[in-house]
Structure 1
Amino acid sequence: MAHSYTPGLKVLKSTEILKERRLPLKGQLECKTGDSVKPDDIVAKTDLPGNVQMINVANQLNIDASDIENYMIKAAGESINKDDLMAETKGLFGFFKSSVFSPVDGTIESISNVTGQVVLRESPIPVEVDAYVKGEIHDIIPDEGVVIKTNGVFIQGIFGIGGESRGRIKTIVDDRNTEITAEMITDDEKGNIIIGGNFIGLEGFKKAINCEVAGIVVGGFNYYDLDEILGYTLGVAITGSEEIITSLIVTEGYGKIQMSQQTFDLLKSHDGKFASVNGATQIRAGVIRPEIIIPINKSAVSGEQSKETLGMMVGSLVRVIRSPNFGKIGTVKLLPSELRKMESETLVRTASVEIDGDTFEIPRSNLEVVETD
């Protein structure tokens, strides 16, 4: 059967998920293969080297660089606290001394009798990596991290902001075509991951942040509202490091677009269950999509695991990612092998897609596969 490779999104109700949890540099692991872990459990930790402070002691004391060690109170390798005396001249009869104090807590890394500079290394910065999802340790990456295996629901979005978060799924709309308004969000939603329909506006998102909502999953969002939320223009499509309480995952695209029926029904069926979400997005080489993971018991997982997608084929479920029909989902009916001429006079490969009972001929580059199970 003819098929065409087209990147797509996953909407899986039952699959095996492997999550790699890795330290930024080598450190210490807190678990072993086979251990059961919860989302907040620390699985690895390390210390990042502190920032470096350069202090021109010779200049401040008005001495020759070659004489610096004669005036140092602390030696290389010694720890020092903020405002501790680091170097001092003898003065005249004990008076009129010049002194240099440490600007930070840290360690004296080196003293140069050539430049007269003292290098201070600030205290190490502790880094801990948690499990993020409930599961078990599937594999160990020596001194670096672990791979966690869990079984459950796996849904990818189009775009997101905010990093990793977790909470209970709470559907606050009746259908997938309903907008989340500020009035729908109350203090009772603190720590929850709320599921909406087609849109959430700026006021609604601000209310969610004030109520300390863990995450929002919704069909569409206004791109220009991101400036107000983040305080800057999002120029590069790499997100996840934003310092906001509430992670946002957009499943369909920018604007008011109803969430796909399959995604909405799947999330609603797991209302009240604990989930992990991550708004991190990278739309370039090494694509990263925002995700929702809902662990379920192994007994609830069907024995048939999701199959690896081979690309676009006849019968594939696809989403249109360009106007017209932007955001709509349909089924591929035909993949013509010959090139077709579009209105722009360009020759492209197309797909015949059935959407709401009508068939459209759409360039394959304007489609993405929705992987389901």
Structure 2
Amino acid sequence: MSEESFAYTPGLAVTSLTYVRRERSLPIKGEILVSKGQEVDFDTIVGRCYLEGQPFIVKVAELLGVEPEEVHRYLKVRVGDRVSRGGVLASYTAFLGLIKRGVESPVDGVVEAFNELTGHLTIRTPPRPIELRAYIGGIVERVIPGESVVIGTPAAFVQGIIGFGGERHGKIELAVSSNRDVLEAKDIEEYHAGKIVIGGSLATYETLEKAKRVGVVGLVVGGVKITDLERFLGYRIGVAITGREDIGFTLILTEGFGKLPMSEKAFSVFEEHQNFEAAINGATQVRAGVIRPEVIIPKKEKVVPESLGPLGEGRMKIDSIVRIIRYPYFGEIGTVVELPVELRKIETESPVRVVKVRLQDGRVVTVPRANVEIISE
């Protein structure tokens, strides 16, 4: 073991001023609606594409009660025709009008095909537009026509350990006085609707429900009891990939599960930027291609991007403060006490580099270095 041992390890970034870039990409080829150098706001539509509509098979022969080769005689539409839901596609009359049958379109769309062998029509619904918003306010730095844009801005920046819910934006509003305060349901007021509410060490189940009812945009706190969170979500959670939960707002935990005071640095950043408009995103991925939940607060200050080091990356060494990001110690914070040089076998029998961490309760645990991140302040 060497006290001079170190490793470059990702960590959570908390800073009152940095330069943030975000690439905004269309899911398929489309149209980019902004140009390089253009200033954009959170809700600016920067791109648009169209997803192909769904095909619907209409079994005309069976519905009319005729043979497939006879269907063409009764069709009222041709391939390429636009049809409306409820519009007549085919009709059949027999026995001097005593028998009348008709087939109506189940959807709005276009007649795409007719199969003479089966007597079936295919109707495809209209393309569905997908609009890509800027997400953050800033300047368009790069455009890849038809595909993506990169937006950059000076900003205050706070990452969390895990989040729930997607991209939103609203004004920062502190609802507690200290990073150690518990955010109670009574602290959430009607005027918090549309805002990103900042709490302290804990949000209760009742707080989560009140936040949803009031209509907050986001909620950022140190921690939540996992039992309260699962009760609120309605299902047990995993921690590999999050961000698509439909909970009505975006929730970010800056420290982990349980009652955990928000870091003083993060709380002070939010205090400094009370009433600033900010972007929030709960998307989290703790496996390959790490993604952290984030709050981005665009600012007007001038900053030289090249003068700033990579956010959330640092040199882990003895006495570094780290957070463990895998079970069974997920969310635990501790201090690095040893960085063994030699490889150690873990439960899977794989030899890996490890780190020994003294947790806040005094226990010293050994975990793979890939399972920790530096708390970057």
Could you state the TM-score of these two structures normalised by the residue count of structure 2? 0.87
In structure 2, the CA distance between the partners of 1:120 and 1:359, relative to structure 1 (3 Å rule), is same
Structure 2 equivalent of residue 272 of structure 1: 275
In structure 2, the CA distance between the partners of 1:83 and 1:323, relative to structure 1 (3 Å rule), is closer
Q: Secondary structure at the match of 1:6?
A: strand
Per-residue Cα deviation, 1:235-287 (whole angstroms, up to 9, x for no partner): 57322222232110011111111112222222222122111000112233322
- Counterpart code for 2:47: A
* Residue range with higher mean Cα deviation, 99-108 or 294-303: 294-303
* Residue range with higher mean Cα deviation, 246-255 or 14-23: 14-23
In structure 2, the CA distance between the partners of 1:310 and 1:175, relative to structure 1 (3 Å rule), is closer
C-alpha displacement of 1:88: 1.1
In structure 2, the CA distance between the partners of 1:258 and 1:95, relative to structure 1 (3 Å rule), is same
Of 12, 17, 26 in structure 2, the residue corresponding to residue 14 of structure 1 is 17
C-alpha displacement of 1:159: 1.1
Of 57, 63, 67 in structure 2, the residue corresponding to residue 60 of structure 1 is 63
Q: Secondary structure at the match of 2:302?
A: helix
The number of residue pairs the alignment matches comes to 367
Structure 1 equivalent of residue 95 of structure 2: 92
Between the aligned partners of 2:315 and 2:70, the Cα distance in structure 1 is: 71
Structure 2: tracts of 5 or more residues without a match: none
* Residue range with higher mean Cα deviation, 125-134 or 308-317: 308-317
Per-residue Cα deviation, 1:145-203 (whole angstroms, up to 9, x for no partner): 21111111222211111111111111111111111001011001111111111110111
Structure 2 equivalent of residue 109 of structure 1: 112
Structure 2 equivalent of residue 41 of structure 1: 44
Structure 1: tracts of 5 or more residues without a match: none
- Residues 1:131 and 2:137 are matched in the alignment: no
- Residues 1:312 and 2:350 are matched in the alignment: no
Answer yes or no: is the 8 Å Cα contact 2:16–2:269 preserved in 1. yes
* Residue range with higher mean Cα deviation, 226-235 or 245-254: 226-235
Per-residue Cα deviation, 1:188-243 (whole angstroms, up to 9, x for no partner): 11111111111101111111111111100001112233343333333573222222
Between the aligned partners of 2:340 and 2:155, the Cα distance in structure 1 is: 37
C-alpha displacement of 1:98: 1.2
Between the aligned partners of 1:29 and 1:79, the Cα distance in structure 2 is: 29
- Residues 1:335 and 2:339 are matched in the alignment: yes
Between the aligned partners of 1:26 and 1:93, the Cα distance in structure 2 is: 55
Q: Secondary structure at the match of 1:32?
A: coil
Q: Secondary structure at the match of 2:262?
A: coil
- Residues 1:31 and 2:4 are matched in the alignment: no
Of 183, 203, 207 in structure 2, the residue corresponding to residue 204 of structure 1 is 207
Between the aligned partners of 1:176 and 1:262, the Cα distance in structure 2 is: 9
- Residues 1:225 and 2:228 are matched in the alignment: yes
Between the aligned partners of 1:325 and 1:115, the Cα distance in structure 2 is: 58
Of 180, 184, 188 in structure 2, the residue corresponding to residue 185 of structure 1 is 188
Per-residue Cα deviation, 1:299-329 (whole angstroms, up to 9, x for no partner): 3779841346354235644235578896335
- Counterpart code for 2:70: D
In structure 2, the CA distance between the partners of 1:155 and 1:315, relative to structure 1 (3 Å rule), is same
Of 157, 162, 166 in structure 2, the residue corresponding to residue 163 of structure 1 is 166
C-alpha displacement of 1:92: 3.0
Between the aligned partners of 1:325 and 1:68, the Cα distance in structure 2 is: 64
C-alpha displacement of 1:39: 0.2
Structure 2 equivalent of residue 367 of structure 1: 372
C-alpha displacement of 1:361: 5.1
Structure 1 equivalent of residue 296 of structure 2: 293
Over aligned residues, Cα RMSD in angstroms? 2.9
Identity among equivalent pairs (%)? 38
Q: Secondary structure at the match of 2:223?
A: strand
Answer yes or no: is the 8 Å Cα contact 1:350–1:362 preserved in 2. no
* Residue range with higher mean Cα deviation, 127-136 or 48-57: 48-57
- Counterpart code for 2:25: R
C-alpha displacement of 1:105: 0.9
